[in-house]
C-alpha cells in the first residue's frame, strides 16, 4: 500500500526552499478503516517500526533502542518488512485505526514522544518508535517528572551519529532457524523489456545430519515480491493445476545443497518495468499459499509440526530492475537516497555515451553505498571505485582541467574529468553537485544534468552533517525513465515553480563565501546565477531542435545495440560503429539474417591467471570455419580489448582475414590491441557471459536499435 502526501511550501528566499514531501510509506499493515474525520482535527503520530518473528528478538531490539542504538539502522538490518526497512522502518504519519487494531492500540498508548513499545499482530512482532505528533495536544510527561523536563529525544537520523552510545548486540539470526539456509538470487541485476527473468532458490543443510525439505516445485510460492514505491505484495501463482500434480519431499545430506531455477513470469503472471523490485523468500508465506491453493498436503509428514518449523525460514533480500533502453530525447532521472531523496534530471541532449554509462552504472548498483565528499559552500562530490576495467567514457574532445566550466549555478550536476584505468582522460568516475558555480573543483567538467527536486531537504542535511564532522553516503541510487515516475513526483517536478534565486551570505555554510540557492528547475536559457531575470524558472522539457540547426555529430548519436540469448543467460551488447563501421555493418547484416542463431561457442582459452576469451560464430563449428569472403580489419586505439569486449577473430598472421567468428573477452587482452578489431562491448548481463563455456549455444541474437542509415558493408577478399 502506498500513501502519498505532498506538501509544497515557499520560503522568503525561494530557490531550494521548495519542498515536496512525497512520503512513501510502504507497509503491508495498512488497511482502509472507517471514519472520515479531518486530518487537521485528528491526532496523528509519526511512527517507525521493526517487524521480527518472535517476542524475544522484539524485546532485545527495544532494549537496544532505549539504550541509544540507532533505530533506523536496526530497522534496515533486522526488519522483515521489505517495504519499509530501506526507509529505516518509517511509516510516516499514522491516524488512529489506520493500522491493524493491535498495532494501532499499542502505538497510540505510548505516553511520550521518543518512546517505544512492542506488540504482536498477524504479521509477527513489532518494535514501534513514537517520533512526532500533530493534530492534537502533545503527550504530557509523567506526573513525577518536572514540567520543564525535555522529552526523550528520538535517535539521530543517520547511523553512527552518536559514537559515544555503545549499541547492544542483537543476533540477526535469532528469528530464524539455523538448520537450513535459504537463498534467492537472480541471473542478473538489470533486465530489458522482454527478457526472461530467471531466479534461483538454493537451500543448504547446515547440520551434521540428513534433513527433509518440501518439493522444490513449491518453493517459489514462498516469495514476497514488491515493486518498491509501486506494487506491494505482488500475488504469486502456481503455473499449473496444483490439484493434478503429485508432490514429494526431498532429502538433503549433511552439508549438502539443493537448488532449482525458475522463470519469474511463470509465477507472477505479468511483466512490468520498474527501477527496483525487491524479493525475499519466507517459509511462513509458503505454507500460507499452500493452504490458499488447497494443495493436497498428504506428502508432508506431520503438517502442523512442519509448518511450525518452516515459519522461521527466510532468505536475505535479492533485487533486480527492468527498464527500457536509453534513447535520444527520452527524459531520465536519478534518485539519490542520502539524508532524504535528491532527484536529478540527466540532460537529454548531454553527451550520449556518458548518459548511457551513468544510467547503466546506477542500474548495476555501482552508486550504492558510495561516500560523499562535501566541500562547504562549493560542492558535494563522489567518486566510483575502479574495479580493474576502464570505468568511464573517453572524452569526445580535448579536456583542459584548468579551464573553468562557465555558466554553472547551484544545483547543476557535473561529470568531472579523471584518468581512466586504460590511461585515457574521460568521464564517469567522479561527479559533483554544484553549490558554488565558481568553485575550481568543477574545472574541465561536463554539465550533464541538474537537481530538480528535493524530498526531505537532503542537500542542507548533508551540509549539516559535514559541519558536525559526520560522514554521508549515497545509500541507494535508482534510475527512473519519465514514463515510470511516481505520479506525485512527476507532478511536483513539472508544476513546481519558485521565485528567482537571490544571492545571500550563509555564515553556517562558509563564512565569507557567497552562495545562491537555485530553484528546483533548470534555469531558462540566458539566465545566469549572477544575473537572474525577474521571471519564475520552471522545469521544462528540452526545446525541440530547430530545422535550421545542424544535426548532431554521428559520434553523439546512440550506438547500435544487439541482444544475445544463450543457454547460459542473456546479455546486451553495444556496437562501436564510430570506430569500426564496416565490421558493425557486417555483424548487423549477419544478425538480421539469423546467421548466428543456433550456433555454438566452440572454443574457450584460458592462460595462466587470465580468464582469456570464448570464441563462437563459426559456420562449421570449428576455428577454421569461414564465409566465402572476409572483411577489413578496423583496430582503434580508442577501443582496447578489455574485459567484456567483442573482438573479431582472424588468422593471427594474415591481416584482413576476419569473417564471422568473434571473441568475447573474459579478461583484459592487451596483446590484441592495435591488431584485432574491437567492435562491441557487453553493457548488461556480464555475469551471463562469464558463465559461457565450450559448447554453449547461441539461441538467437536480435538487433535492439541502430542508427538511421543503410547498414551495407564492403567485402575485402572474396574467394
Which position has the higher pLDDT, 370 or 171?
Answer: 370
**464-476 pLDDT, tens digit each:** 988 988 888 998 9
How high is the pLDDT of residue 3? 34
Instruction: Give residue 260's pLDDT.
Output: 94
Q: What is the pLDDT of residues 390-405, one digit of tens each?
A: 578 888 788 888 888 8
Question: For the chain, what is the domain count?
Answer: 4
Distance from C-alpha of 115 to C-alpha of 98, rounded to nearest angstrom: 20
Q: List the single range of 22-36, 105-119, 281-295, 604-618 with lowest mean pLDDT.
A: 22-36
Q: List, for residues 92-144, the tens digit of each pLDDT value.
A: 888 776 677 789 889 999 998 999 999 998 778 999 999 999 876 544 444 44
End-to-end CA distance of the chain: 67
The DSSP annotation for 499-514 comes to PPP-EEE-TTT-TT-E
Interhelix angle 71-78/55-66, rounded to 10 degrees, is: 150
H/E stretch holding 304: helix 303-310
Separation CA 569–CA 571 (nearest Å): 7
**Helix, strand or coil, per DSSP, at residue 100:** coil
Average pLDDT, the chain: 78
Same domain, 353 and 480: yes
* CATH at 89: 3.10.50.40
Residue partners of 187: CB distance under 8 A and separation at least 6: 197, 198, 199, 200, 569, 687, 688
**Residue range 206-216, pLDDT digits in tens:** 999 999 999 99
Q: What crossing angle do the helices spanning 283-292 and 303-310 adopt, rounded to 10°? A: 140
- Asked, for residue 86, whether it belongs to a domain, the answer is yes
| Helix intervals (H) in 384-486 | 458-467
Q: Is the pLDDT of residue 151 over 50?
A: no
In a shared domain, residues 316 and 346 = no
3-state helix, strand, coil in the chain (%, to 5): 20, 30, 55
Whether residue 458 has pLDDT greater than 80? yes
Classify residue 295: in a domain, yes or no. Answer: yes
Per-residue pLDDT of 17-48, as tens digits, reads 222 332 333 333 333 333 333 334 467 889 99
Last-in-domain residue among 296, 322, 348: 322
Report the C-alpha gap between 172 and 542 in whole angstroms. 49
Question: Beta strand 190-191 with 318-322: parallel, antiparallel or unpaired?
Answer: parallel
CATH number at residue 651: 2.40.100.10
Helix H, strand E, coil C: the string for 263-280 is EHHHHHCCCCCEEEEEEE
**395 within 8 A of 417, measured Cβ to Cβ:** yes
Cα separation, 89 vs 103, whole angstroms: 14
Whether 357 and 305 share a structural domain: no
Q: By percentage, how much of the chain surpasses pLDDT 70?
A: 77
240 occurs within a structural domain: yes
Burial of 15 (0-12, 13-18, 19+ CB in 10 A): buried
Q: What is the C-alpha separation between 103 and 434, in angstroms, rounded?
A: 44
Model pLDDT, residue 309: 83
Q: Note the pLDDT of residue 403.
A: 86
At residue 135, the pLDDT reads 73
Question: Are residue 650 and residue 595 in the same domain, yes or no?
Answer: yes
pLDDT of residue 66: 92
46: its cell numbers: 509519526
Assess whether pLDDT exceeds 70 at residue 217.
yes
> Measuring CA to CA, how many Å separate 192 from each of 271, 333, 376, 620?
11, 17, 40, 32
Torsion sign across C-alpha atoms 544, 547, 548, 552: positive
pLDDT band at 49 (very low <50, low <70, confident <90, very high): very high
User: Does residue 549 form part of some domain?
Assistant: no
Answer yes or no: is pLDDT of 480 > 60: yes
228: confidence class by pLDDT, cuts 50, 70, 90 = confident
Is 649 contained in some domain?
yes
**Does residue 312 sit in the same domain as residue 244?**
yes
Q: For residue 172, what are the CA distances in angstroms to 50, 75, 284, 519?
A: 13, 11, 18, 44
Last residue of a domain, one of 134, 164, 197: 134
Q: Which of 282-291, 341-350, 500-509 has the lowest mean pLDDT?
A: 500-509
Q: Please give the backbone phi and psi of residue 281, each rounded to the nearest 5 degrees, phi first.
A: -120, 135
Residues 315 and 358 occupy one common structural domain:
no
Cell digits of residue 663: 571473441
- Please check whether residues 350 and 462 belong to one and the same domain: yes
- On whether both 591 and 661 belong to a single domain, the answer is yes
pTM listed for this prediction: 0.51
pLDDT value of residue 596: 95
Judge contact between 223 and 184, C-beta under 8 A.
Answer: yes
DSSP 138-185: PPPPPTTS-TTSPPPPPPPSSTTS-TTSPPPP--TTTTS-SSEEEEEE
Write the DSSP string, 644-687: TEEEE---TTSTT-B-S-EEEESS--GGGTTTS-EEEEEEE-HH
pLDDT tens-place string over residues 352-380: 899 999 999 999 999 998 999 999 889 99
Query: Nearest-CA neighbor of 646 among 707, 702, 706, 587?
Result: 587
- Dig out the grid coordinates for 134 from the structure: 500533530
Q: Which residue has the cell 584518468?
A: 419
Distance separating alpha carbons of residues 374 and 433, to the nearest angstrom: 10
Per-residue confidence (pLDDT) for residue 176, from 0 to 100: 52
| pLDDT exceeds 50 at position 11 | no
Cα 200 versus chain centre, distance: 20
In a domain, 688, yes or no: yes
- 599 with 473, same domain: the answer is no
Q: Are 495 and 11 spatial neighbours (Cβ–Cβ below 8 Å)?
A: no
Verify that 351 and 317 share a domain, yes or no: no
Q: In the prediction, which pLDDT does 470 show? A: 87
Asked whether the beta carbons of 192 and 176 are under 8 A apart, the reply is no
In a domain, 581, yes or no: yes
User: Is 370 inside any structural domain?
Assistant: yes
Stretch among 151-160, 380-389, 608-617 having the lowest mean pLDDT: 151-160
Query: Which grid cell is 394?
Result: 573517453
In this structure, the answer to whether residues 441 and 488 fall within a common structural domain is yes
Residue range 567-581, pLDDT digits in tens: 988 888 999 999 999
Read off the pLDDT of residues 510-529 as tens digits, 9 standing for 90 and up: 333 333 333 333 333 333 33
Beta-bridge partner residues of 190: 321
* One domain, residues 240 and 269: yes
Range of 70's domain? 31-134
Amino acid at each position: 500500500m502506498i500513501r502519498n502526501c505532498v506538501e509544497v511550501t515557499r520560503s522568503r528566499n525561494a530557490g531550494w526552499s521548495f519542498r515536496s514531501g512525497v512520503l512513501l510509506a510502504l507497509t503491508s499493515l495498512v488497511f482502509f478503516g472507517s471514519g472520515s474525520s479531518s486530518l487537521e482535527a485528528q491526532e496523528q503520530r509519526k511512527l517507525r517500526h521493526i517487524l521480527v518473528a518472535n517476542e524475544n528478538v522484539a524485546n532485545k531490539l527495544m532494549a537496544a533502542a532505549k539504550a541509544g542504538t540507532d533505530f533506523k539502522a536496526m530497522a534496515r538490518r533486522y526488519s522483515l518488512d521489505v517495504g519499509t526497512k530501506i526507509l529505516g522502518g518509517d511509516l510516516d504519519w499514522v491516524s488512529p485505526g489506520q493500522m491493524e487494531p493491535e498495532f494501532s492500540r499499542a502505538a497510540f498508548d505510548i505516553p511520550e514522544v521518543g518512546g517505544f513499545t512492542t506488540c504482536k499482530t498477524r504479521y509477527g512482532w513489532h518494535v514501534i518508535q513514537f517520533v512526532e505528533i500533530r493534530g492534537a495536544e502533545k503527550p504530557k510527561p509523567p506526573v513525577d517528572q518536572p514540567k520543564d523536563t525535555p522529552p526523550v529525544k528520538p535517535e539521530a537520523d543517520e547511523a553512527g551519529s552518536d559514537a559515544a552510545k555503545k549499541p547492544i548486540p542483537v543476533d540477526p539470526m535469532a528469528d530464524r532457524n539455523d538448520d537450513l539456509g535459504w537463498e534467492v538470487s537472480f541471473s542478473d541485476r538489470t533486465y530489458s523489456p522482454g527478457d526472461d527473468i530467471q531466479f534461483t532458490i538454493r537451500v543448504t543443510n547446515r547440520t551434521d545430519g540428513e534433513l527433509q525439505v518440501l518439493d522444490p516445485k513449491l518453493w517459489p510460492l514462498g516469495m514476497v515480491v514488491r515493486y518498491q514505491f509501486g506494487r506491494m505484495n505482488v500475488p504469486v501463482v502456481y503455473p499449473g493445476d496444483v490439484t493434478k500434480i503429485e508432490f514429494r519431499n526431498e532429502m538433503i545430506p549433511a552439508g549438502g545443497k539443493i537448488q532449482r531455477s525458475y522463470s519469474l513470469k511463470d509465477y507472477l503472471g505479468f511483466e512490468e518495468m520498474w527501477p527496483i523490485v525487491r524479493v525475499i523468500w519466507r517459509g511462513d508465506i509458503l505454507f500460507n499459499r499452500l493452504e490458499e491453493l488447497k494443495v493436497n498436503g498428504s506428502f508432508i509428514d506431520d503438517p502442523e509440526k512442519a509448518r511450525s518449523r518452516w515459519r522461521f525460514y527466510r532468505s536475505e533480500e535479492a533485487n533486480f530492475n527492468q527498464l527500457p533502453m536509453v534513447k535520444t530525447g527520452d527524459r531520465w532521472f536519478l534518485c539519490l537516497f542520502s539524508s532524504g531523496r535528491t532527484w536529478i534530471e540527466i540532460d537529454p541532449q548531454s553527451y550520449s555515451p556518458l548518459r548511457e554509462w551513468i544510467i547503466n552504472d546506477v542500474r548495476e548498483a555501482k552508486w550504492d553505498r558510495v561516500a560523499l565528499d562535501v566541500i562547504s559552500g562549493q560542492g558535494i562530490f563522489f567518486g566510483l571505485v575502479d574495479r580493474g576495467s576502464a570505468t568511464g567514457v573517453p572524452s569526445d574532445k580535448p579536456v583542459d582541467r584548468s579551464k573553468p566550466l562557465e555558466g554553472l549555478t547551484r544545483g547543476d550536476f557535473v561529470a568531472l574529468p579523471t584518468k581512466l584505468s586504460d590511461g585515457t582522460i574521460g568521464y564517469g568516475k567522479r561527479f559533483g553537485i554544484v553549490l558554488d558555480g565558481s568553485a575550481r573543483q568543477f574545472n574541465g567538467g561536463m554539465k550533464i544534468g541538474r537537481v530538480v527536486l528535493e524530498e526531505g531537504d537532503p542537500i542542507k542535511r548533508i551540509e549539516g552533517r559535514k559541519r558536525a564532522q559526520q560522514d554521508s553516503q549515497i545509500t541507494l541510487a535508482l534510475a527512473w525513465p519519465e514514463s515510470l515516475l511516481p505520479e506525485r513526483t512527476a507532478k511536483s517536478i513539472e508544476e513546481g515553480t519558485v521565485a528567482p534565486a537571490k544571492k545571500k551570505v550563509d555564515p553556517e555554510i562558509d563564512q565569507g563565501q557567497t552562495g545562491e540557492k537555485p530553484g528546483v528547475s533548470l534555469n531558462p536559457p540566458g539566465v545566469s546565477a549572477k544575473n537572474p531575470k525577474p521571471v519564475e524558472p520552471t522545469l521544462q522539457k528540452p526545446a525541440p531542435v530547430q530545422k535550421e540547426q545542424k544535426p548532431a555529430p554521428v559520434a553523439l548519436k546512440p550506438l547500435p545495440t544487439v541482444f544475445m540469448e544463450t543457454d547460459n543467460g542473456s546479455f546486451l551488447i553495444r556496437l562501436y560503429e564510430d570506430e569500426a563501421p564496416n565490421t558493425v555493418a557486417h555483424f548487423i547484416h549477419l544478425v538480421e539474417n539469423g546467421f548466428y542463431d543456433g550456433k555454438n561457442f566452440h572454443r574457450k582459452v584460458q592462460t595462466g591467471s587470465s580468464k582469456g576469451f570464448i570464441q563462437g560464430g563459426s559456420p562449421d563449428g570449428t576455428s577454421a570455419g569461414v564465409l566465402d569472403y572476409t572483411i577489413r580489419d578496423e583496430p582503434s586505439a580508442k577501443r582496447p580489448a578489455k574485459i567484456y569486449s567483442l573482438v573479431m577473430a582472424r588468422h593471427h598472421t594474415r591481416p584482413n582475414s576476419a569473417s564471422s567468428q568473434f571473441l568475447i573477452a573474459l579478461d583484459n587482452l592487451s596483446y590484441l590491441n592495435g591488431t584485432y578489431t574491437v567492435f562491441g562491448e557487453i553493457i548488461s548481463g556480464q555475469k551471463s557471459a562469464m558463465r559461457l563455456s565450450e559448447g554453449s549455444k547461441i539461441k538467437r541474437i536480435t538487433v535492439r536499435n541502430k542508427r538511421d542509415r543503410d547498414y551495407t558493408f564492403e567485402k575485402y577478399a572474396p574467394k
